[in-house]
Amino acid sequence: MMNRINMIVLAVLWCTTPWATPLYAGDSARVGVMDQQLVFERSKAGKAALEDMAGYAQTRQKIITSDEQELKELQQSLEDPNTKLTDAVRQEKEEQLRGKVEAYQHRVQDFNREVQQKRGEMVAEYSRKIAAAAQAVAQKEGYAAILDKGTDSMLRIVLYHQATLDVTELIIKEFDRQNP
Q: Where are the domains of the chain?
A: 2-178
pLDDT number for residue 26: 54
Which class would CATH give 2-178?
alpha beta
Q: pLDDT at residue 69 above 60?
A: yes
Q: In the chain, pLDDT over 90 holds for what percent of residues?
A: 59
pLDDT number for residue 21: 40
Q: How far is residue 111's CA from residue 116's CA, in Å, rounded to a whole number?
A: 8
Q: pLDDT at residue 16 above 90?
A: no
Q: Please give the average per-residue pLDDT across 78-83, as a whole number.
A: 79
Name which residue leads in pLDDT, 77 or 48: 48
Mean pLDDT of the chain: 83
Contact 71, 104 (CB under 8 A): yes
Q: Please give the average per-residue pLDDT across 68-78, as a whole number.
A: 89
> What does each C-alpha distance from 162 to 42, 51, 135, 166, 167 come to in angstroms?
22, 33, 20, 8, 11
